[in-house]
Structure 1
Amino acid sequence: MTTLTDLQGTYTIDPAHSRLGFVARHAMVTKVRGSFTEFEGAARTETGLENAAIELTAQVASIDTRNADRDGHLRTNDFFDAERFPTIEFRSTDVTAADDDTLRVTGDLTLKGVTKPVTIDFEYGGQARDPYGNERIGFDGATTIDRSDFGITFNAALETGGVLVSDKIRLEFEVSAVKNA
């Protein structure tokens, strides 16, 4: 089996086979899931995925929670302010192997013009050659952020206590990447 230290070159995220998503608590009783449908990214390395340079850019306007009214509200200044801040960006600052199957990626996440460090553990799903001759690698990862740290503070108090939208947001990454020729 190919290990994290065996992988070399440039790998480009395949958005048709990947998902960049999030989960937020709504009304303190349920979870709302969403994703960004337009994004791109790559990992570049000469010595295995440890120490790779990883970057990701998502288009805020592509947010999709399966509810057009909610998506429209999320694009406003109450949340992402897509007109002034059209992208969400991530740039790695440190990439290490936490173990044989886990890549620990620390980097700068920029949301709504605010940049903060985050760490994401990615489970290595493996490597395969697809029917078209492309070498693919897969990773799944997640982390939790406080949206207020990024200036996203809109909320409403509930009569029963609590708030409409949780501050803690789970970011989820399901990545299929193709090695560049």
Structure 2
Amino acid sequence: SEARLETFNGVAEKVRGAIALDPDDLRNASGSVRVDVRSMKTGIKLRDEHLQSSNWLDAERYPEIVFMLDRIVGAQRLVDKGEVNLRLEGKFSLHGITKPMTVDAKARYDASKNEVVFMTRFKVKLEDYGISIPTLVALKVAREITVRATIVAR
């Protein structure tokens, strides 16, 4: 969060996912990434508790943040030992609300390890997902959160 009075980073410690893709033909790729909301840490325990409370992400009712990959566009195939730019199209679910989402990403492929590393950075507007920022902390929490993700698929 990069707000007027405060900037802080968070890390999700429990992330799981699956992807099905053919490195030589990305047209039928699909998959999902799931983040356990309770595993999100910002470095301050009290802030983490607030983040997971019913006033914010409501981890009790909505325990996961999910991205469901519907397709990959912008690249036909992966390049061994190379990096390609592409777009990941799918659905993003946060706080009980699911919306279509397209994010720009880079993918590095290593055929010898049967490994693809996806790197992306995108923004999420909290109000789009029914999360309102209390006036008391409006200058400390950004209305739009930048998400950076590196996902290793094997």
TM superposition score category, shorter chain reference: 0.7 to 0.9
Match runs of 1:36-55 below 5 Å: 36-46=12-22, 48-55=25-32
Structure 1 unaligned spans of 5+: 1-23
How big is the shift at 1:117? 1.4
Q: Distance in 2 between matches of 1:32 and 1:50?
A: 37
Q: Deviations 1:73-132 (Å, cap 9, x if unpaired)?
A: 000011100011111111123321258711201111111100111111111233154xxx
| Equivalent position of 2:142 in the other structure | 166
Residues paired across the two proteins, number: 147
Report if aligned partners of 1:147, 1:167 keep a CA contact under 8 Å in 2.
Answer: yes
Q: Deviations 1:17-58 (Å, cap 9, x if unpaired)?
A: xxxxxxx123x0442110211011121124633330021111
Match runs of 1:5-24 below 5 Å: 24=1
Identical positions, percent = 27
| Equivalent position of 2:86 in the other structure | 103
Taking CA–CA contacts closer than 8 Å with sequence separation of 6 or more, which of the two structures ends up with the larger relative contact order?
1
Instruction: Compute the TM-score of the two structures, normalised by the length of structure 2.
Output: 0.85
| Equivalent position of 1:114 in the other structure | 97
1:142 partnered with 2:129: no
**Amino acid in the other structure paired with 1:137:** V
- In structure 1, which of residues 52, 74, 78 is the aligned counterpart of residue 55 of structure 2? 78
SS in 1 for 2:50: helix
More displaced 10-residue stretch of structure 1: 47-56 or 73-82 = 47-56
Q: Distance in 2 between matches of 1:164 and 1:155?
A: 10
| Equivalent position of 1:15 in the other structure | none
SS in 1 for 2:43: coil
How big is the shift at 1:157? 5.3
SS in 2 for 1:52: strand
1:155 partnered with 2:134: yes
RMSD: 2.1
More displaced 10-residue stretch of structure 1: 30-39 or 96-105 = 96-105
Q: Distance in 2 between matches of 1:29 and 1:83?
A: 29
More helix by share: 2
Q: Distance in 1 between matches of 2:43 and 2:139?
A: 22
